[in-house]
């Protein structure tokens, strides 16, 4: 079929956008795919997935697109804490299991057909791969956009790194994080270390939720500073738990901090 002027104009526009683009797009592969699990096309979403990533690449003027996938549980975290994500094991009905199996079969097929750079390493989680690329590549681009709804990735935010949540359709930036939580990315990670992460079976200090952890972060700023000031004075049960929770805090920091332990995590890749 011969091309018409509209086709040529669109081709020229696409080429111009590509030439102007100098952003890095990091896709949390399975996180993005889970939007299909409860849809009718749970077992046939390959084309739609590729279109979605292509659309995101165009919207964020990406010069380079990298899709990052999980490949089993984190060997680093399971070695450190054997009960890591132990709460993820759920009983499913036969129908639910069939859907789950078909979904992952389609996801595996999708990964094979992706026209984008993509990586998965046995024993390494996607957020660690994303953290690695963010830490090592972001300076080469005008801006890095991470596509994920995983709040653990908030600690990667900077003036050069932002996040787009495909589920809520919200962008999370350095400014919006501070506006919502009055915390820097490092401080946000510190608050998670105190609270723990129930979704990953990481227990925090009992009796300390978001408000109390935010107050502690505001006062002490860093985990090292908090630890240096323990034991704190006070008769409240949560103060007692905090004073007795040094090992919990130290372990949580190694489980939750995606930046300072990234090299240790990546070195655990299974050959």
* Residue 49 CB-density burial (10 A; 0-12 exposed, 13-18 middle, 19+ buried): buried
| pLDDT confidence of residue 19 | 59
For the chain, residues with pLDDT lower than 50 are 1-15, 17
pLDDT digit string (tens) for 55-68? 999 999 999 999 99
Q: What amino acid positions are annotated as catalytic residues?
A: 28, 70, 85, 88, 125, 128, 150, 152, 197, 200
Asked if 132 and 262 touch (Cβ cutoff 8 Å), the reply is: yes
Q: Which of 66, 59, 63 is nearest to 26 (CA)?
A: 66
Give the per-residue pLDDT at 6.
46
**Torsion sign, CA atoms 238, 240, 245, 249:** positive
Map tokens 């991470």 to a residue: 146
Strands (E), 121-192: 143-147, 161-165, 170-172
* Cβ pair 56, 163 in contact under 8 A: no
CA 115/CA 120 separation, integer angstroms: 15
pTM of the model: 0.91
């Amino acid at each position: 079929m011969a091309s018409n002027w509209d086709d040529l104009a669109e081709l020229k526009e696409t080429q111009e956008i590509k030439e102007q683009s100098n952003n890095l797009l990091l896709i949390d592969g399975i996180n993005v795919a889970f939007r299909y699990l409860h849809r009718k096309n749970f077992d046939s979403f390959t084309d739609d997935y590729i279109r979605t990533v292509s659309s995101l690449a165009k919207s964020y003027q990406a010069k380079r697109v990298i899709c990052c996938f999980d490949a089993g549980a984190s060997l680093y975290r399971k070695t450190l804490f054997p009960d890591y994500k132990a709460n993820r094991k759920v009983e499913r009905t036969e129908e639910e299991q069939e859907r789950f199996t078909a979904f992952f079969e389609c996801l595996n097929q999708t990964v094979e057909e992706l026209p984008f750079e993509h990586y998965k390493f046995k024993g390494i989680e996607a957020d660690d791969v994303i953290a690695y690329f963010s830490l090592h590549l972001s300076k080469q681009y005008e801006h890095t956009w991470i596509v994920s709804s995983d709040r653990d990735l908030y600690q990667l935010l900077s003036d050069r790194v932002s996040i787009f949540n495909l589920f809520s359709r919200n962008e999370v930036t350095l400014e919006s994080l501070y506006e919502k939580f009055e915390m820097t990315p490092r401080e946000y990670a510190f608050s998670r270390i105190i609270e723990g992460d129930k979704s990953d079976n990481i227990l925090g200090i009992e009796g300390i939720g978001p408000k109390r952890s935010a107050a502690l972060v505001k006062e002490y700023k860093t985990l090292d500073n908090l630890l240096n000031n323990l034991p704190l004075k006070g008769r409240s049960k949560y103060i007692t738990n905090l004073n007795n929770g040094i090992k919990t805090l130290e372990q949580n920091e190694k489980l939750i901090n995606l930046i300072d332990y990234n090299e240790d995590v990546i070195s655990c890749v299974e050959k």
